[in-house]
Amino acid sequence: MSNEQRLQKAAFAGGCFWCMVKPFDEQPGIVSVTSGYTGGSTRNPTYQEVCSETTGHYEAVQILFDPEVFPYEKLLDVYWQQIDPTDPGGQFFDRGHSYKTAIFYYNDEQRTAAEKSKQELGVSGKFDKPIATAILPAKEFYPAEEYHQDYYKKNPGHYERYSHGSGRKAFIEEHWGEKS
């Protein structure tokens, strides 16, 4: 099987998609991380439409990866460590449907792995509230506007201020003991 035939897609919503690219980017086996919109009903939504909370979309990232180098279960581990999985109303200071957390699965194996990892996190004792992250079938993924792609590289100062100011960075350090 060629490398291209082995590649799989994964999609995760974790609040602001700017903060969901860097943790996955440049890992071995990760081919690309694209910011975009998924889960809604509007075709080709714009950032403004998604932010209006009328499209049903989540801000998300779609990851193209080689599961032989970076298994899906490892993607799930990285994902959980970027979010507050107990928050049903958004992430940090970003509120509303488009900022909720969700794992979008592309096949039964991903669904099973996602459900297992969610259950394991729920009984781990790491959080004192239930895990609110949804596990949903993947829908059409629409790449976000170019200025949103690789935002942490294009605007590192603003990205760092956002990561700190939103509360995400402190939450990750407190709950996972790692720097984001």
Which residue numbers are catalytic? 16
Q: Decide: 10 and 72 in contact? Cβ < 8 Å.
A: yes
Q: Decide: 38 and 57 in contact? Cβ < 8 Å.
A: yes
- How far apart CA 142 and CA 17 sit, in angstroms, is 13
**Which two tokens mark 169?**
């960075």
Q: Decide: 77 and 117 in contact? Cβ < 8 Å.
A: yes
In a 3-state reduction of DSSP, which class is residue 24?
A: coil
Q: Helical H runs in the chain?
A: 3-6, 18-21, 47-51, 72-80, 108-123, 151-154, 156-165, 168-176
**Which two tokens mark 75?**
């993607």
